[in-house]
Amino acid sequence: HLFAGILDAPPPASREQRSAGSGSSSGTSSDQVTRISSERPGPEGRGSQELEIGRYQVEGIQGGGGMGRVFKGYDPKLERRVAIKQLSPEISGNKTSLDRFFQEARAAASLNHTHIAAVYEINAEENDQPYLVMEYVDGPTLATWRRSDPPPSFPEKLRVAREIAAGLAYAHQKKVIHRDIKPENILLTENGVVKITDFGLARILGGSGTRLTRDGLTMGTLAYMAPEQVSGRESDHRCDIYGLGVVYFELFCDRLPVEANNDAAFMYALIHQPIPKVLSIAPALPPALADLIDRMLSKEPEERPGSMDEVLSMLNGIG
């Protein structure tokens, strides 16, 4: 197995080095954009060498990781800002990567929900680098929002937790698993509305879709991955429930449930050591919320809530 031997690594240590490896990389340069147009006046008459992806004007780089890079763009036809996710040139010629990209596109495009960032266009022309055009969200990630000054109140955190659950419950009803739930993939609009984004590791449940469990294992963000993903066992929608449990634990307890100084130590701790109970970290939380998060973080999928609908129902019952 991919992680053979690693799961017997030494036990975990400090959080700082563990957290440092949890985010996605955004190393991107302008030569990775589809094409560069000739120089012409930019906004406010400034001279610029304008970058374009398809008909979209590229205004900046938002980030990247996994399979592609995300650009902030502008649609001159519909006069609106957009986010553009483009498959990186290094892997755009790889059939497996292309198949995964198109699966992501189909999964994301099938979702239409207030708390999921919308997909506007899928471009897969033969002579172009494939890309998705998505709703642009004009606010922070959950990771940034929870560290706001002043910090969010408990009612605000609970509202956000419910909105994430509502979006994910809808996706699961549509038989789409996210597989990479983490604070960086949860955005908030300027008005504080949750938008889940980057279904980059999504897999259509059932049917004859390509199985991505092993690839998803290596592409996910380790701190938010369920034990069955890390150990290479079969996983289903309950891996999202576990990942969201980690997000909730971090949101309400201000730390990760499993902490270690490197990936090997983290995997050892996740598989072999107990996860602390929420009330041992944040004793002031409502017991019903603490119990829900504890259940979501059960190492065995069968011991977690059976569905995101159940998670949402329990959250709605917490005052």
pLDDT-based confidence at residue 162 (cuts at 50, 70, 90): very high
Are the CB atoms for 174 and 133 separated by under 8 Å? no
CA–CA separation, 1 vs 154, rounded Å? 42
Tokens 């940034």 appear where? Answer: 144
Helix axes 308-316, 238-253, angle to 10 degrees: 30
Note the pLDDT of residue 92.
72
Note the pLDDT of residue 255.
96
Report if pTM > 0.75. yes
pLDDT-based confidence at residue 85 (cuts at 50, 70, 90): confident
Is 180 one of the annotated active-site residues of the chain? Answer: yes
Tell me the sheet residues that pair with 141.
Answer: 187
Region 81-110: mean pLDDT is 79
Note the pLDDT of residue 167.
98
Query: Rounded to whole angstroms, what are the CA distances from 128 to 35, 131, 162?
Result: 9, 9, 39
CA–CA separation, 233 vs 245, rounded Å? 19
CA–CA separation, 109 vs 102, rounded Å? 10
Tokens 């266009």 appear where? Answer: 121
Residue 304 or 91, more confident: 304
pLDDT-based confidence at residue 66 (cuts at 50, 70, 90): low
- 278-308: pLDDT as tens digits: 999 999 999 999 999 999 999 999 999 999 9
| CATH numbers and ranges of domains, the chain | 6-21+138-316 (1.10.510.10), 30-135 (3.30.200.20)
Q: Which tokens go with 230?
A: 């890390």
DSSP 141: B
Model confidence at 151: pLDDT above 90: yes
Which candidate in 8, 128, 180, 263 is catalytic? 180
3-class secondary structure, 69: strand
CA–CA separation, 219 vs 213, rounded Å? 10
pLDDT-based confidence at residue 150 (cuts at 50, 70, 90): very high
pLDDT-based confidence at residue 202 (cuts at 50, 70, 90): low
Q: Which tokens go with 198?
A: 């980057």
Residue 48 or 192, more confident: 192
- Element at 56 (helix H, strand E): strand 56-65
Maximum average pLDDT range among 49-63, 88-102, 117-131? 49-63
- 229-240: pLDDT as tens digits: 888 888 899 999
